[in-house]
Chain A
Amino acid sequence: MSAVSATLGALAGALSWLRVHDAGRDAALGARLVALAPWEHELVRHLARRLVAPDVDAEVPLPSTDAVGVADFVDRWIARMRPSMRRDLGRLFRYVEHVAPLAIGHARPFTTLDEASQDRALAALAASPVGDLRAGFEGLKALVAMGYWRDPRTWPAIGYPGPIVGPAKGEGE
């Protein structure tokens, strides 16, 4: 077990008894998800909104993270990760949802916090004295960045003309 696994496991393992999903509510969503549990999908939606925070009022607006489908992309992306990485990521999700809010004085799950509180919880995570948690923050940021900035609808706002060739019909699609 890596140091990351050990730390996140220790921090989040105690919370494993928590009921982290609602089977009735999530049945339809769960049926189409590949790797994420419904509650994880919801968490990624919240994370994407705060980490990317598109400025939709700008002259060339950016699409919302939900419009781009960041959480759905992340679901498909992590399905290809090897099992140990998926385990670590699952622990990190559990930590962010249930433990990270404690660092800013909230006992409620991350997904129930208002936006300002979510930002403070993420800032605390990014500046955590625990290196593994800072690495976890960067990992989450990279995941949602991939899910968002890969989308051609985001490119005009940053002056990126995009690929020159058309999409290939390869295995990476």
Chain B
Amino acid sequence: MIRRGRDLRGDVVLDADAVVVGTGAGGGMAMRELARAGLDVVALEAGGHHGPADFDQREESMLPMLFEEAGARTTHDRAIRVLQGRGVGGSTVHNTNLCKRTPPELLELWERRHGVSGCGPADLAPVFDEVERDLSVAEIAETLRNPNNRVLERGVRALGVRGGPLRHNRVGCRQSGFCELGCAYDAKQNSLKVLVPQALASGRATLLSDTRADRIEHDGDGVRGVRATACDARGAEVASVTVRARVVVLAASATGSAALAWRSALPDPHDRLGRGLHLHPGAAVAGVFDERIDGFAGIPQSYECTEWLDFAEASDRRVWITTVFAHPVGTAAAMPGFGAAHTALMRQYPHLAVLVAMVHDRSEGRVEIDAEGFPVLRYTLGLRDREQLATGLRGGARLLLAAGAREVVVPSATPLRVRCEADLDAIGPWLGEPHAMPLTAVHPMGGMCLGDDPHASVVASTGEHHQVRGLFALDASLFPTSIGVPPQLSIYAFARHLARHAVERARAR
């Protein structure tokens, strides 16, 4: 059953075996696994419950509906825009359906360096298999590659660098190109469409949308539940909600889960809470072609270039390149300059092919909260990562030129135009400095990192909090490092893998 918090009349107290905070990849999976195990589950979702009929493919209506802070969330210094989902399904509603497994090298590194146990490549492989079956993950056929992705493929072949097709969780795709604004055709096989309905179908789950978790109730030893506030469409408080439960699962994202932990004054004897924040910061370069590309149409992000990415521990190849494209508002905000010059660039819109360079970052930030309890993302891109970004931007520009672009626009504050190899020298680590060019991150990770050593992590390898029994984190906040690939599949898999410990805890108490 789904109840909208905005429809509540009067305060509510619910009893359950477990309460799940957040309904994205981690929360949807946790909710389903707990319900399937025969436990009574209440899920709390701060955003609304929306479906395909609500997704109108317009930026001005979808940004407030589907994104935290209407897409305006940033790092503390506003240098990096951080896009995070809001609403039932979380970021799985607006993402582009990319599905890549956690690199095995990183799973081994987490065991070797971060004290993680039971989450190695052999442990996770069958979980990934199962999740990929659940979500109908498949490679995007070459015949479905849109012109923007064909440009990348052409560049990869021309330069003789490493690249290939990508896998997505979509079925019945109409190739409209509006994926990042929610799928009006219900083709995304995500938390909203697959996992939440399965949890509800079990008859054991209740979902309260428009209900913001304010505080985890605990007594320093174990959890007692969650206190929350139901809000109307404008965010005004409608009712208080108390869920009494033996298990609390945090799945409100790397920023949301840590922020809730902060608001709840959880014990943190080793000062670990919020640490280990990684973002996968990225920046785009746009190639101008003579022919129409119409990058806004067709399936986005179906091809990748991995020439400058590997996962060896000491690797200095930490940048991933794929396609990216925005609708007019997003493009206008990202294009450099203003006035007539900016308008002239906008008139090139259908002739642009855009690539993004995403850094598998080693820079570590921290999630904190402000006086109002909102997340504050303290994060600064270090020099090594700025160098990686520059490598990626140069690589992207090379790929576009090799694919036939007549020029490449680097949207720095003072725009750079790249027309030949020699022009690439202007691209340097300075572009990663705050406000030198638009940087965007869509993959926050860390904040409640996994590991068996309480001095170095917040939750154990089971996902359970080191100090507070019955409290689990089952979302991207677990990851001890950046993972270098889009995280949704990893979040689904880790939540699936570790949810059994939450089930055991709920049954045991």
Contact = CB atoms under 8 A, between A and B. Distances in A.
Interface of A: 2-4, 50-55, 58, 62, 73, 77, 80-85, 119, 122, 126-127, 131-132, 134-135, 138-139, 141-142, 145-146, 148-150, 154-155, 157-160, 163-168, 170-173
A80 B56 contact: no
Contacts of B233: 171
B332 A131 contact: no
List of 3 A-B pairs having minimum Cβ-Cβ separation, nearest first: A172-B61, A163-B57, A145-B332
B79 interface: yes
A60 B355 CA distance: 28
Given A50-B338, A159-B349, A160-B350, 4 more contacts: A53-B340, A160-B296, A167-B61, A171-B48
B343 interface: yes
Contacts of B58: 150, 163, 167, 172
Given A55-B343, A80-B64, A165 B332 contact: no
Interface stretch (B69-77, B256-264, B444-452): B69-77
Contacts of B494: none
B346 interface: yes
Contact of B72 (A81, A126, A149, A166): A81
Given A150-B60, A160-B328, A165-B57, A3 B76 contact: yes
Most buried by A among B55, B64, B339: B339
A149 B329 contact: yes
A172 B69 contact: no
A157 to B, nearest CB: 7
B311 interface: no
Interface in B404-435: 413-414, 434-435
Contacts of A62: 343
Interface in B232-258: 233-234
B338 A170 contact: no
Contacts of B70: 77, 80-81
Contacts of A134: 413, 435
Contact of B349 (A73, A141, A158): A158
B330 to A, nearest CB: 9
Nearest to B374: A82
B71 to A, nearest CB: 9
A170 B63 CA distance: 12
Interface in B70-109: 70, 72, 76-79
Contacts of B328: 149-150, 154-155, 158, 160
A82 B64 CA distance: 12
B342 interface: yes
A149 B168 CA distance: 30
10 contacts: A83-B372, A85-B69, A85-B72, A145-B333, A154-B328, A168-B55, A170-B56, A171-B65, A172-B62, A173-B61
Contacts of A154: 328
A46 to B, nearest CB: 13
Contacts of B72: 81, 85
Contacts of A2: 76, 370, 376
Contacts of A131: 77, 79, 434-435
B184 interface: yes
Given A51-B339, A168-B61, A127 B413 contact: yes
Nearest to B62: A172
B338 A135 contact: no
Nearest to A171: B233
B53 A168 contact: yes
Contacts of A171: 48, 64-65, 233
A5 B350 CA distance: 38
A84 B60 contact: no
Contact of A145 (B63, B64, B329, B344): B329
Contacts of B374: 82, 84
B56 A150 contact: no
A158 B346 CA distance: 6
Nearest to A50: B339
A172 B434 CA distance: 31
Contact of B56 (A77, A160, A163): A163
A80 B234 contact: yes
A170 B50 contact: yes
Given A122-B338, A149-B332, A53 B59 contact: no
A148 B332 contact: yes
B403 to A, nearest CB: 20
Contact of B370 (A84, A142, A146): A84
B350 A158 contact: yes
B202 interface: no
A164 B78 contact: no
A54 B332 CA distance: 13
Given A84-B372, A164-B178, A52 B343 contact: yes
Contacts of B331: 149
